[in-house]
Amino acid sequence: MNKEQVMAAHDATTSKLSTGELEAMLVDSIIPQAVEQGATEIYPNRFVEYLKSEIDLDISAVFLGRALKNIGLIAKRGSSGSRYILPEKGDLEAWKLGIGL
C-alpha cells in the first residue's frame, strides 16, 4: 500500500463513502447544481462546510480535493488556498462525457 491508498481508505471509513461514490455524486449532481447556480470555482476548505450543512455529507477538504482532481477539474493555488475551476454552463455536458474517457 502507498500513502494515497491509506489516505483514501481512511477517508472512505470516516465518511462512509468511497472515492468512487463521492466522484459519482460530484459528477452527477453536486457540480452540475453548482454550475447551474452560477458557481465558477470550488474552494474545498469552504465547500465541505456547505456539503455538511446542505446534504449532511461529512468529508474532509483533502478527500474532496482529491476527488475534484480525479474527475478532471483544474486546481489553482492562491492566498485563500486551493480552488478548483468548474466547467462553464455550456460545457457541462461535454465535461461529463469526458470523465469516462
Query: In order of start, what are the domains of the chain with their CATH numbers?
Result: 3-99 (1.10.10)
pLDDT score recorded for residue 32 = 94
- The angle formed by the CA atoms of residues 80, 24 and 60, to the nearest 5 degrees, is 35
Sheet strand arrangement including 41-42: 41-42, 81-85, 74-78
pLDDT tens, the chain, 101 aa long: 777 666 666 666 666 788 889 999 999 999 999 999 999 999 999 999 999 998 888 888 988 999 999 999 999 988 878 899 999 988 888 888 875 43
Q: DSSP assignment, residue 83?
A: E
Angle at the Cα of 67 from the Cα atoms of 35 and 48, rounded to 5 degrees? 65
Query: Strand, coil or helix: what is 100?
Result: coil
Alpha helices per DSSP H over the chain: 3-15, 19-25, 31-36, 44-55, 61-70, 92-99
pLDDT of residue 100: 42
